[in-house]
Amino acid sequence: MTTLQLNLPKLVRQQNPVVLTIANTVTPAKVADGLSAIGTSPIMSIAPQEASEMVALANAITINLGTINKEQVNEITTVLKENQNQKPVVLDPVAIGASQYRLTVAKGLLQSYQFTVIRGNAGEIAALANVNWSSHGIDGGSGQANLHEIAKNVAQAYNCIVVLTGKTDIVTDGNNEFINHLSTNYFTTNIGSGDMLSSIIAAYLSVSDTPYLAVCTATKFFTAAGVKAAREVTGFGQWQVKLMDELATLNSNEVLSVL
Query: What b/e readout covers 54-81, taking b as 16+ CB neighbours within 10 angstroms?
Result: bbeebbbbbbbbbebeeebbebbbbbbe
Interface mask toward a copy of itself for 173-212; x: CB under 8 A? ----------------xxxx--------------------
Binding window for a copy of itself (CB under 8 A); candidates: 107-115, 119-127, 136-144, 198-206: 136-144
Which of residues 2, 15, 67, 156 is near a copy of itself by CB under 8 A?
A: 67
User: Is residue 86 at the binding interface for a copy of itself, with CB under 8 A as the rule?
Assistant: no
Half-sphere exposure of 12 (CA within 13 A, CB side): 34
The site that binds a copy of itself (CB under 8 A) totals a number of residues, namely 62
Which of residues 5, 45, 153, 219 is near a copy of itself by CB under 8 A?
A: 45
3-class state of residue 114 by DSSP: coil
User: Is residue 245 at the binding interface for a copy of itself, with CB under 8 A as the rule?
Assistant: yes
Please report, to the nearest 10 degrees, the dihedral formed by the alpha carbons of residues 201, 164, 239, 195 taken in order: 50
Which of residues 4, 8, 12, 44 is near a copy of itself by CB under 8 A?
A: 44
23 contacts 198 by C-beta, under 8 angstroms: no
User: Is residue 241 at the binding interface for a copy of itself, with CB under 8 A as the rule?
Assistant: yes
Q: Write the CB contacts of 110 (distance below 8 Å, at least 6 apart in sequence).
A: 91, 118, 128, 158
User: Is residue 14 at the binding interface for a copy of itself, with CB under 8 A as the rule?
Assistant: no
User: Is residue 11 at the binding interface for a copy of itself, with CB under 8 A as the rule?
Assistant: no
CA distance 62 to 89: 6
Instruction: Name the nearest CA neighbour of 101 among 68, 76, 57.
Output: 68
Residues of this chain that bind a copy of itself (CB under 8 A): 16, 18, 23, 25-30, 32-33, 36-37, 41-50, 53-54, 57, 66-72, 95, 98-102, 136-139, 189-192, 234-238, 240-249
